[in-house]
Amino acid sequence: MSKPILILGAGPSGLAAAHALASVGQRAVLVEKEGRLGGAPILSGYAKLVPSGEWARDAIGGMVARVENNPLVAINKGCTVKEFRGEPGAFQATLSNGEMCQVGAAILCSGFTHFDSVNKPEWGFGTFPDVVTTAQVEQMISSGKGVRCPSDGRKPQRVAILLCVGSRDRQIGREWCSKICCTVSCNLAIEIREEIPDCHVYIYYMDIRTFGLYETRYYWRSQEEFKVKYIKARIAEVTSDGQRLIIKGEDTLVKRPITIPFDMVVHAIGMDPNVDNRSIASVFGVALEPHGHIGKGNAYGTFGETSRPGVFVAGAATGPETIDDSIGQARAAAMAAFAFVQQPAAPAAKVA
Amino acid sequence: MSKPILILGAGPSGLAAAHALASVGQRAVLVEKEGRLGGAPILSGYAKLVPSGEWARDAIGGMVARVENNPLVAINKGCTVKEFRGEPGAFQATLSNGEMCQVGAAILCSGFTHFDSVNKPEWGFGTFPDVVTTAQVEQMISSGKGVRCPSDGRKPQRVAILLCVGSRDRQIGREWCSKICCTVSCNLAIEIREEIPDCHVYIYYMDIRTFGLYETRYYWRSQEEFKVKYIKARIAEVTSDGQRLIIKGEDTLVKRPITIPFDMVVHAIGMDPNVDNRSIASVFGVALEPHGHIGKGNAYGTFGETSRPGVFVAGAATGPETIDDSIGQARAAAMAAFAFVQQPAAPAAKVA
């Protein structure tokens, strides 16, 4: 029987990898730093997921239950990996709970960290209570409480969603695009309109990146069926007139300054590299790419290789990623790791 | 020993699935309708791939060689599947070359069909010889002949790349976004500027969708390092003044009509559903989604499920897809099919 495979992180990627391995009879050791499995969709209380429309608690909750009930997966919650030594096919991991594991390979499914909007102070988060994040609106919806202004609990009549908060923004060191915020924001706008039909929802954007089949399902549907309005704009600041929030900026298409009142302003926050990436890279001996994500080899090889043979990576640990693609990558990396523990002979990957 | 798994199509997805299966000792039967393996990157002669920068003939060629030399993969070229009968775990496939195969499962990796630009006649393809497609420019580069105007063989001094040709265009029944053409066009613009440093390259766009880490590597790099110019515009038509091509339209940002001369106009062609999808759906008994791609179940299950248990799908067969994500999905679907042939007990997936 081959040695177990260590999986770091129990979000959608880690859960998918663990399930994939167990489905072919391969043991896995799952290590999750939080006290609960599920990653961002569960811990941050996401509402309905893109593109399935299923509630996160059902979709990802189902993945959690399937792994928690699987005898081939050893689960360590509230736990980190302190040391990872040895050779490909014969690694020894020391966990923070004192356990030592002999493992044949590892898959890093350590995900991302939500951008903290206080790092974009001119857009009002932390100053005005009714400036919130997409994650907070997801929680309002998934909790059943509904979308309400935090300041006084009223139903907003006018909501603005600002895209690219912590993305495509060199001033604050986030040059990358976070890939899925556009589509998530279209989806959220639809959910707000479903709950509060007389609420006007505006999306302020640089480019709308509802790529592939999301174009029809989210961008067009949100406009035509749900009357969400899209405005290409440069936002200068979010202030208040004492009664309502005021968005100031420039409408890029009509080339005119805009000063528009809203009840609620939503930051579509991006995906930062996981705050633990330096420590993870150090413990596992893998290289980071220039932005601080975990570097991965080209896809043409065995998939999901890091710079260290026998250590694989998948999902948002490698850069902003959708849930579906994270799951696909994790299952692909699980396949690679499974083949590896049967015959560990891969050379080191060239990583980006 | 479990029955082999049928793989339909030998592009990046099919090659990745076959390699993944063979890497865990699972036999595969690969069926490719063309006389050569490699799919679009090889058959259409792509140049340097996104995001690796490797030549397609090396990157995908290497995947071909690895599969062709693998004793666990039975290859059928110039061949289609005529019938696919039986039960999950015990299917019988009849191939057009007369072979009958007993297989445990199937993975549809049948990819896409390039949009044919003659279906967008007002943009000049088929009328003016110097209006070409991204696929043709890739061939010019990969063949070593260089980027030249087909009419007279001269090096172009001014090149326009028009995005969304056969994408995001309801007038011609292509509502979807083709996901990767923006990034491919940025990459192609860089390659043109590398070959002809004094050539001016313009990209005409609706939205620039260089999502995720492509933002830095392609969008910013093409502008800053290679001086590629981006113009948000609605293109009305491509005509000629007898000497040069003329692009007419409206610059959306400055709200002014534009009439600009070019030596070469490049259509960034989109990804249509594979022209064979109706026949494939009929033979394999799987449902198509509304646009005509092969329908797939949600990612939270075993991955890549179609409406028929035991038949999986991956890559651009399901909608516009990148090469890397196609490969990841194919390896994930291979993992699912491999688990399936060991224990075929999955219920039918709900497909989109």
- Angstroms from A140 CA to nearest CA on chain B: 24
Q: Which one of A25, A59, A211 has the shortest CB-CB distance to B177?
A: A211
Contacts of A313 in chain B (CB under 8 A): none
Beta strands in B34-139, from DSSP E residues, in sequence order: 73-76, 81-87, 90-95, 100-103, 105-108, 112-114, 131-133
pLDDT tens digits, one per residue of A104-114? 999 999 999 99
Classified as helix, coil or strand, A139 is helix
Minimum mean pLDDT among A54-63, B180-189, B245-254: which range? B245-254
Peptide bond into A320 cis (omega under 30): no
Contacts of A255 in chain B (CB under 8 A): 253-255
pLDDT for B346 equals: 47
Q: Which one of B178, B293, B299 has the shortest CB-CB distance to A323?
A: B299
- Angstroms from B323 CA to nearest CA on chain A: 8
The whole-angstrom distance between residue B193's C-alpha and the CA centroid of its chain comes to 24
Question: If we measure between CA atoms, which residue out of A47, A46, A17 comes closest to residue A32?
Answer: A17
Tell me if A9 sits within 8 A of A39, measured CB to CB: yes
Report the alpha-carbon distance of residue B85 to residue B92 in Å, rounded: 5
Tell me if A27 sits within 8 A of A72, measured CB to CB: yes
Mean of pLDDT values over A13-22: 98
Q: Do A332 and B329 touch (CB under 8 A)?
A: yes
Tokens of B280: 């494939």
- Nearest-by-CA chain A residue for B19: A302
The yes-or-no verdict on residue B349 having pLDDT over 70 is: no
- Angstroms from B242 CA to nearest CA on chain A: 34
Work out the percent of chain B whose per-residue pLDDT is above 70: 97
pLDDT for A344 equals: 54
pLDDT tens digits, one per residue of B122-160? 999 999 999 999 999 999 999 999 999 999 999 999 999
Classified as helix, coil or strand, A177 is coil
Q: Which one of A176, A302, A334 has the shortest CB-CB distance to B216?
A: A176
Prediction pTM value: 0.96
Mean of pLDDT values over B261-288: 98
- Nearest-by-CA chain B residue for A206: B207
Question: If we measure between CA atoms, which residue out of A134, A51, A113, A135 comes closest to residue A325?
Answer: A51
Comparing B18 with A254, the larger pLDDT belongs to: B18
The yes-or-no verdict on residue A305 having pLDDT over 60 is: yes
- Angstroms from A227 CA to nearest CA on chain B: 18
pLDDT for B317 equals: 98
Contacts of A23 in chain B (CB under 8 A): 302, 335-336, 339
- Angstroms from A72 CA to nearest CA on chain B: 15
Contacts of A291 in chain B (CB under 8 A): 213, 216
Peptide bond into A257 cis (omega under 30): no
- Nearest-by-CA chain A residue for B296: A52
End-to-end CA distance of chain B: give it in Å, rounded: 34
Buried b / exposed e over B126-156, threshold 16 CB at 10 Å, is: eebebbbbbbbbbbbbbeeeebbbeeeeeeb
Question: If we measure between CA atoms, which residue out of B20, B300, B295, B334 comes closest to residue A324?
Answer: B300
- Nearest-by-CA chain B residue for A316: B212
Most B CBs within 10 A among A184, A213, A294, A321, hence the mutation to make, goes to: A213
Work out the pLDDT band at A343, boundaries 50, 70, 90: confident
Tell me if A243 sits within 8 A of A218, measured CB to CB: no
Q: Average pLDDT over chain B, rounded to whole?
A: 96
pLDDT tens digits, one per residue of A277-300? 999 999 999 999 999 999 999 999
pLDDT tens digits, one per residue of B310-330? 999 999 999 999 999 999 999
- Nearest-by-CA chain B residue for A26: B339
Say which residues have a Cβ less than 8 Å from residue B109's Cβ, sequence separation at least 6: B7, B8, B9, B10, B11, B13, B14, B17, B313, B314, B315, B317, B326, B330
A·B CB contacts under 8 A: 171
Mean of pLDDT values over A298-312: 96
- Nearest-by-CA chain B residue for A66: B301
| CA-CA-CA-CA torsion sign (A5, A9, A10, A14) | negative
Report the alpha-carbon distance of residue A172 to residue A119 in Å, rounded: 7
Work out the percent of chain A whose per-residue pLDDT is above 90: 95
Beta bridge partner(s), residue A131: A265
Mean of pLDDT values over B240-248: 96
pLDDT for A346 equals: 47
Most B CBs within 10 A among A211, A221, A255, A340, hence the mutation to make, goes to: A211
Q: Do B211 and A179 touch (CB under 8 A)?
A: yes
Q: Which one of A168, A220, A329 has the shortest CB-CB distance to B175?
A: A220
Tell me if B92 sits within 8 A of B49, measured CB to CB: no
pLDDT tens digits, one per residue of A187-234? 999 999 999 999 999 999 999 999 999 999 999 999 999 999 999 999
- Report ipTM (2 d.p.): 0.96
Longest dimension (CA), chain B: 68
Report the alpha-carbon distance of residue A109 to residue A333 in Å, rounded: 10
B241-to-B150, B233, B234, B245, B257 alpha-carbon distances in Å: 17, 21, 20, 7, 17
pLDDT for B343 equals: 80
pLDDT for B255 equals: 85
- Nearest-by-CA chain B residue for A220: B175
Contacts of A168 in chain B (CB under 8 A): 215
Contacts of B60 in chain A (CB under 8 A): 300
Tokens of A324: 């579906």
Tell me if A147 sits within 8 A of A158, measured CB to CB: no
The yes-or-no verdict on residue B344 having pLDDT over 70 is: no
Q: Do A216 and B336 touch (CB under 8 A)?
A: no
Q: Do A328 and B303 touch (CB under 8 A)?
A: yes
| Residue B63, φ and ψ in degrees, nearest 5 | -65, -35
Work out the pLDDT band at B254, boundaries 50, 70, 90: confident
